[in-house]
Amino acid sequence: MDAILPHLHAIADADLAALRTLAHPDSPVSVDDLTRQAAIRRPGEHHTQQAAFERGEAKGAVTTGVPRMDAHDGWLDLTLHPQEAGGPLADALLATGLGVLRAAGATTAVTRVREDWWEHDFLRARGWQEADRMWLSTLDLRTLDFGAFAADEARARASGVRIVPLSDLGGWDAHQREHYDLIHALLTDVPSARPVQVWPFEVWLERMPTLLPDTSGIMIAVAPDGTWVGTSQLSQPIANRPGFVHNGLTGVRSEWRGHGLGLALKLAAARAALARGFTHSRTGNHVINRPMLAINERLGFVREAATVTLTREVGSRE
């Protein structure tokens, strides 16, 4: 498709999910994924998803919105039909998306792409700068030899800390402030190239029950005095990967490190995932988060290509 400035139309979630999956079959997207993202948007929050169509077929799409975990004010996602990858339509959609963000008042755009995708070099050549990178990795839970970690789990138990599913602690309706304070402390301490943007308490409380409704997969480390000191979130099914569950935040408060609690939390979460019928755990870690990468390596996670966070000033023009 020759394009200078395409005539764009809104694209339905089903069509956008199909286009994203066609563009990158190794990273499929489902309608459920997009529905879940829509469910946590705040009232009045900026969001657009537009596409260029040819004979009824989506050839390329650009999505704009608000980043979830980045300290920037504009999100941009570019998706191209394989036949259009890196061509004039990609440039036209990119310019359109930046224009939409500019009109919405954003100053910096952020996006994420895998390092081995064409979009990485395409965007870098157009002024986007690397801000962070994460390793994606997958663990076949069925291969875990829990007995090999018996001494590690015994050391964790010797600290007096109990590891309990959130479902046994009252779920999302109980201990809300203590849970949030734990998450806030852990996220602000995650080794990353840029500080993680932590949601305000009210936003967190509004979004998390939608994102992670199955609280039996969220492990909480409870100290002898009842303080919550760690967590591992192995709760969110990956819709287009049957048997896969996403491993979100795992962490331990700094004053409780050195007892093997991070490993023990991940092992407890893995047992619970297997009991619920999951076969694989999939996660992402900042490349400078060496302690968690070391735990994942011991468990047997297999790394894939890095996911790179790219940013660009919205007001700058080529």
Whether the Cβ atoms of residue 261 and residue 154 lie closer than 8 Å to each other: no
How confident is the model at residue 6, as a pLDDT?
Answer: 63
Q: Which residue has the tokens 């967590």?
A: 231
Whether the Cβ atoms of residue 193 and residue 133 lie closer than 8 Å to each other: yes
How confident is the model at residue 1, as a pLDDT?
Answer: 42
**In this structure, which CATH number among 3.40.50.1000, 3.40.50.720, 2.40.50.100, 3.40.630.30 belongs to the domain 145-299?**
3.40.630.30
Q: Which residue has the tokens 């949030």?
A: 180
40: which DSSP letter?
T
Same topology between domain 9-134+308-313 and domain 145-299:
yes
User: Residue 295 contacts by C-beta under 8 Å, 6 or more apart in sequence?
Assistant: 250, 262, 263, 266
How confident is the model at residue 3, as a pLDDT?
Answer: 43
Return the bridge partners of 311, or none: 110, 129
For the chain, domain boundaries: 9-134+308-313, 145-299
CATH 3.40.630.30 fits 9-134+308-313, yes or no: yes
236: which DSSP letter?
E
Return the bridge partners of 233, or none: 218
How confident is the model at residue 316, as a pLDDT?
Answer: 52
- Shortest CA distance to 191 belongs to which of 311, 292, 307? 292
Question: What's the CA gap between 50 and 305, in Å, rounded?
Answer: 28
SS (H, E, C) 261-291: HHHHHHHHHHHHHHHCCCCEEEEEEECCCHH
Strand (E) or helix (H) holding 155: helix 150-158
Sheet with 302-313, edge to edge strand ranges: 9-10, 48-54, 57-65, 74-80, 108-114, 302-313, 129-140, 280-286, 244-252, 228-237, 218-222, 162-165
| Positions of the chain with pLDDT under 70 | 1-6, 69-71, 316-318
Retrieve residue 264's tokens.
Answer: 């023990």
